[in-house]
Structure 1
């Protein structure tokens, strides 16, 4: 067994931060079932590394993660590359205020345009400008390659299995969230 920085011994030759946290809990409160921490804490820490890796790439193109998410969402909508602000908020799981702030910056940078809806003159649509579409088309392949690099520790089969497990977990959250929204109506 190998001792870690806290003087605790681990059965694994390599231990991550979460292993050390779990060992501390086990030593201090052995009857506490910390098994969920093994998953939740790792997902949170991995997300931090993912976010950092993506932010670094986006910054090279003058973007933030929020700006990329908006641009990519509108690009995925297909021609004529436009969505309503409420469609963006729902798709991005962000408040309308957060989306509005990002839209203001993207409009100032010339990456989106706000245009009147032909079907509802009271609302504006968010449309990718030609410069916005060109930027998404330039960054998207680099973004996907960056994500592939971040997942390189997993085989293709492991990535597929992990994606399937995460899908099942996400579906449970989405179904519960939908049920809560239905009850509020």
Structure 2
């Protein structure tokens, strides 16, 4: 898929682009994807409601589902799902000695504290991390990758990075940069935390 530079004038009619050239396959998909079909129904049945946000939000939600399925399928060969992978990879990229507090992990990944505790118990039982009390503070916990955890994290990280590049392969470098900036702006504008 390649989009030439331009601006979308009417998200409610996901096909009306000004200055944007779409190849025939992409144009057909935009008119007939799940979100486009839904928008047509909204416009027909609820024309008084501005449903233009669905053209973006609906596609982001659909893309999230598609990407999550691909990621989990890719990580399954390592016996992982994305949340467990995110913990291992985050601790690994923190640098030697590959340890973090649960609070540091929570500020780096999208999980609830209860979800993190459950995953840490599972990863510890599988021998990928070990938890211990922080020196000088018996209430604080340190989560550290074991050698087995470092090995798994590094193998899974390489496969995950390769998949990420496959997912965005249809975008030019400029489009990737633009999209990353737009998505970052939406995250910042909607971040409650």
TM-score, normalised by the number of residues in structure 2: 0.81
Residue of structure 1 aligned with 2:28, choices 13, 18, 23 = 13
1:37-56 CA-to-partner distances (Å, cap 9, x unmatched) read: 00100000000011001000
What are the within-5 Å matches in structure 2 for residues 114-153 of structure 1?
114-153=131-170
Q: CA deviation at 1:91?
A: 2.1
Aligned match of 2:53: 36
RMSD, aligned CA:
1.6
| Unmatched 5+ stretches in structure 1 | 1-9, 179-185
Shift in Å, 1:90:
2.7
Distance 2:98 2:136 in 1: 16
Pick the structure with more helix per residue: 1
TM-score, with length taken from structure 1: 0.84
Deviation at 1:153, TM superposition (A): 2.2
Provide, for residues 49-96 of structure 1, a one-character-per-residue CA deviation record: whole Å limited to 9, x for no partner: 110010001111011111101111111211111111122223223221
- The reply on whether 1:25 has 2:42 as its aligned counterpart is yes
Deviates more, 1:16-25 or 1:90-99: 90-99
8 Å CA contact 2:129–2:144 kept in 1: the answer is: yes
Mean Cα deviation higher: 105-114 or 76-85: 76-85
Counterpart position of 2:175: 158
Shift of 1:28: 1.2
The total of aligned residue pairs comes to: 167
1:91-115 CA distance string (max 9 Å, x none)? 2232211101000110011000112
For residues 148 and 102 of structure 2, the distance between their equivalents in structure 1, rounded to whole angstroms, comes to 20
